[in-house]
Amino acid sequence: MNAALSIVLDAVSYGMVLFTISIGLSIMMGLMRVVNLAHGAFAMIGGYFASYALKQLGLSYPFAIVVAVLGTIVISAPLELLLYRRIYRGASELTQLLLTIGVTFVIIGLANYAFGPTSKPIPLPASLSGPFDLGFRMMPTHRLFVIACGLTTALLLWLLIDRTDFGVRLRAAVDNGGMAEALGIRTQVIYSLTFAIAVGLGALGGVVGAELLPIEPFYALRYMVTFLVVVSVGGAGSILGALSASLLLGLADTTGKYLAPEFGEFFFYLAVIVIVFLFPNGLLGRAQ
Amino acid sequence: MTRALLQLHDVSRSFGGLKVNSEVSFTLAEGDRVALIGPNGAGKTTLVNVITGDLSPSEGRITFDGHDITRLSIPARVRAGLVRSFQITRLFTGLTVAENVALAVMQRKGLTWRMFAGATFTSGVREEWRQVLDLLGIGHLAGRPVTELAYGQQRLVDLAIGLALNPKVLILDEPAAGVPHDEAPKILDAIARLPAEIAVLMIEHDMDLVFKFAKRVLVLAGGRLIFEGDAASVTADDNVRRAYLGSYADGRRRA
Amino acid sequence: MVRQVVVPLVVIGGLGGVGYLLFPDDLAFLTRLISITLLVLSLDLVVGYCGIATLGHAALYGVSAYVAGNVCLIGRSDPLTLLAVGALAGAVVGLVSGAIVARFRGLPQLVLSIAIGQLVGALSNKLSSLTGGSDGLSGITPGRVFGVFSFDMFGRTGYAFSLAVLAVVFVLLSRLVASPFGLICRGIRDDNLRARMIGAAVYPRLIAMYGISGAVAGIGGALTAINTGVVGLDSVSFERSAEGLVMLVLGGAGSLWGALFGAIIFQVFEHLVSAANPFHWMTLVGLLLIAIVLFAPRGLGPAATALWRRARGGER
């Protein structure tokens, strides 16, 4: 029983990290139809920013997160302008794949040049380190923080997309870009803002999840496909889909690693194959 | 009595709550030249997609040459002799004109599993595509990549592919649509020279073309077949006028 | 006929000679280059000739290497037998992969290909009795070619053997892509619906091509086991799949010569540059990919021919 609870708690926190990083990619893929393999690289950049802010600049954890998110968005802006815009909604999967792999490789190379090949820790503040007493068991505070982050992100995003003006325009642009344009909605602005949100969320996830996914130059390559896979399983553009997929895959992975650790990510990808075969557009996705 | 080739038995197709085709029944026999007309949104394209297998009917049956093909896959229907051309031309864009037609010839002859034989220019194949291209007057374009052709010429290649499949029933979806005026005669010419024994169903908006080509006319409106008869009587029919002109038909008659 | 048989033999033989002159002390690098080139050729069959997007192709290559390695270790060490075994293993993995990957198109296809690759990678790690796990399979000592030529320390036999294998495979593939089967696959790549509407069943043909592609990759994998004597987890890695795709795109997918030259050029540059600093190499490759996508999307091969044509046209 205790083991099962441990598995579930670990699975949920891993799932939430996956979600926080992947949801940005999901929205971007849902709207701009970009297969972006560089998303993990942006999460990594966020992690590097946070590490630098905490260790070199001595900022507090919340500030470091803000620096990470804003810094990553700033760095990604010229990439969006010069590169990503050319592959929205029309370019073939192969083209998008190759361009974003290229971006990832460049980022990895530069990250190594700037920070070296060792992993950069992101030290947690005292309030978040150590165990937390849930009453019936102890749990690392950080895990709870991660879960809380994920849920808050989901809630805020839902509010943004479902309840705000921006959200309405976003959904219009997703459903029918041409029509949205004709109605005066400036889709390019929406794309750019969405890109920024996606990247920012990725960075947030990268920072918050650094305990589980350590920050080092090959982070971007190691998890290059993970986030794409999570988004595809959930269905691009669906918050609930991304949440379900993250938790489901997190569970498959964590259970597998507990019960048969030498199998590595076998069960994660087995789950992916089964789910995609049954739901090619994702659990909650729509056919493109 | 000519042999019936394609028969629709009360075919219906719905999308969710919307019934796009309702109980459509008709027969195409050898040698038929039939036009399918109707106002926009009448369900013509959906009906054609159901006939060719791109969509399955919600109700009803389709028989081809005596066999029930309602559940048959698209490739199987084509191999049985039910061929269609597209409203918006679809060609193999990376290939030449000759290769496009040769593929159809080879596929029909069951050659496309051969992995070490020659393709486009082997004897048996070469003569056939040359013949079809010459018939349509585009033999001189054989070596050109299809992407370099004018739109009207691409339409002819599309038609050539259809002919190369030796169809029993050929469905032409707006064959002259989008074709510049000076190129249209070529297409009409080609249609006039189609083999006499095949049945041709043409979806068209251009009434001149319908009168030139069709011996029978089917009118689809609101998903239903509201008229079947010869070209001469179609314009006089009350139901047809109402379908196209709406209340104006009644208005004019009253006046 | 001439084009499909004589030209490849001459060109590949010529390239082999040039390689020997340029890297006489590094034949191991050249034999590895040939193995990877076979992987890239196999990838071209499904990506360039069938239009399938895959990032999991290394599975076909790596599994065959492991199988060939194991067969050699249990005593069947005749190199030609090992090649046949590799081809067979590759074909089987190819057929299974194809059945899964070719079932859908677009994003689901890509994700399934990735998942298969990662699955095989994880499995290879787990089944360490067969693969040696992270230490890899080693001690693979092939027998003599035709019972006469033994694999010497300098790699000359290995090089000549691999070169011959590459030439033969290339000739066979030249015939394949010019055949009716090759043409229908290209048609399927261009327009899936149109192919069905001329009566061709698409799914079975894609699976078949995947099987053939697997056989080619399998030959490459077997060669690697034979020549290097070791097989490691890197041969089933995502990096191997991605790298193969980069090489293919560099030369131009959809053309056997494009795959060949892309693979050769990339690996030569990698050999020269990446020894210095692997991260700088990575940055360069990234920039190269971006440049190709933006300026030469059909690969350097077609871009070069277009430039050549324009230059010649200008002179007239």
pLDDT in tens, B109-140: 999 999 988 888 888 899 999 999 998 888 99
Instruction: Please indicate if any CB of chain C lies within 8 Å of the CB of A108.
Output: yes
Is the Cβ–Cβ distance between A25 and A227 less than 8 Å? yes
pLDDT at C316 (0 to 100): 42
From chain A residues 154-213, the ones with a CB under 8 A of any chain C CB are: none
Spatial CA neighbour of C38 closest among C162, C179, C177? C162
Q: How buried is B105 (Cβ within 10 angstroms: 0-12 exposed, 13-18 middle, 19+ buried)?
A: buried
User: Using CB atoms, which residue from C108, C245, C289 is nearest to A105?
Assistant: C289
> In this predicted model, what pLDDT tens digit does every residue of A216-240 receive, in sequence order?
888 988 888 889 999 999 988 888 9
From chain C residues 253-312, the ones with a CB under 8 A of any chain B CB are: 254
- CATH number at A238 reads 1.10.3470
Q: Total structural domains in chain B?
A: 2
Pick the residue of A276, A278, A281, A286 with the most C CBs within 10 A to test the interface with C by mutation.
Answer: A276
Cα of A26 vs its chain's centroid, Å: 8
Tell me the residue range of the domain where B249 lies: 1-81+168-255
Q: Among the three residues B166, B192, B226, which one is the final residue of a domain in this structure?
A: B166
Q: Among the three residues B112, B142, B166, which one is the final residue of a domain in this structure?
A: B166
Token readout for B224 is 């239903």
Tell me the residue range of the domain where A140 lies: 2-278
Q: Are residues B11 and B41 in the same domain?
A: yes
Which residue of chain A is at minimal alpha-carbon distance from C103?
A: A277
For residue A69, the one-letter residue type is: V
Q: Are residues B162 and B172 in the same domain?
A: no
Q: Among the three residues B112, B131, B166, which one is the final residue of a domain in this structure?
A: B166
H helix runs in A116-184, sequence order: 141-163, 165-175, 177-182
Q: Are residues B56 and B127 in the same domain?
A: no
Is the Cβ–Cβ distance between C290 and A99 less than 8 Å? yes
Beta bridge partners of B75: none
Cα torsion through A150, A152, A155, A158, rounded to 10: -70
From chain A residues 44-83, the ones with a CB under 8 A of any chain C CB are: 83
8 Å CB contact of C194 and B114: no
Domain-embedded: residue A8: yes
* Range ranked top by mean pLDDT from A114-123, A146-155, C197-206, C302-311: C197-206
pLDDT class for A183, splitting at 50, 70, 90? confident
Which residue of chain A is at minimal alpha-carbon distance from C279?
A: A109
Q: Are residues B190 and B249 in the same domain?
A: yes
8 Å CB contact of C199 and B114: no
8 Å CB contact of B92 and C176: no
The tally of CA atoms less than 13 A away on the side-chain side of residue B33 is: 15
> In this predicted model, what pLDDT tens digit does every residue of C71-103 receive, in sequence order?
999 988 899 999 999 999 999 999 999 999 999
All residues of chain B having their beta carbon less than 8 Å from the beta carbon of residue C194 are 90-92
User: Using CB atoms, which residue from C122, C249, C283 is nearest to A264?
Assistant: C122
> In this predicted model, what pLDDT tens digit does every residue of B57-69 receive, in sequence order?
999 999 999 899 9
> In this predicted model, what pLDDT tens digit does every residue of A28-76 receive, in sequence order?
888 888 889 999 999 999 999 999 988 888 888 888 999 999 999 999 9
Q: Are residues B143 and B219 in the same domain?
A: no
pLDDT at B255 (0 to 100): 41
Q: Total structural domains in chain A?
A: 1
pLDDT at B241 (0 to 100): 78
Asked whether the predicted pLDDT for residue B252 surpasses 60, the reply is: no
All residues of chain C having their beta carbon less than 8 Å from the beta carbon of residue A262 are 125-126, 128
- Phi then psi for residue B181, to 5 deg, are -50, -40
Q: Do chains C and B touch (3 or more CB pairs under 8 A)?
A: yes
8 Å CB contact of A263 and C122: yes
Which residue of chain C is at minimal alpha-carbon distance from A34?
A: C107
All residues of chain A having their beta carbon less than 8 Å from the beta carbon of residue C124 are none
Domain locations in chain C? 2-237
Q: Are residues B19 and B138 in the same domain?
A: no
Residue pairs spanning B and C at CB distance below 8 A: 98
Spatial CA neighbour of C140 closest among C84, C62, C86, C72? C72
pLDDT at C314 (0 to 100): 52
Instruction: Please indicate if any CB of chain C lies within 8 Å of the CB of B119.
Output: yes
Lowest-pLDDT range of A167-176, B224-233, C75-84: A167-176
8 Å CB contact of C122 and A269: yes
Pick the residue of A81, A85, A87, A94 with the most C CBs within 10 A to test the interface with C by mutation.
Answer: A94
Q: Are residues B156 and B192 in the same domain?
A: no
User: Using CB atoms, which residue from B90, B108, B119 is nearest to C199?
Assistant: B108
Is the Cβ–Cβ distance between B234 and B240 less than 8 Å? yes
pLDDT class for B250, splitting at 50, 70, 90? low
Smallest CA–CA separation between A59 and chain C, in Å? 30
pTM for the full predicted model: 0.90
- CATH number at B39 reads 3.40.50.300
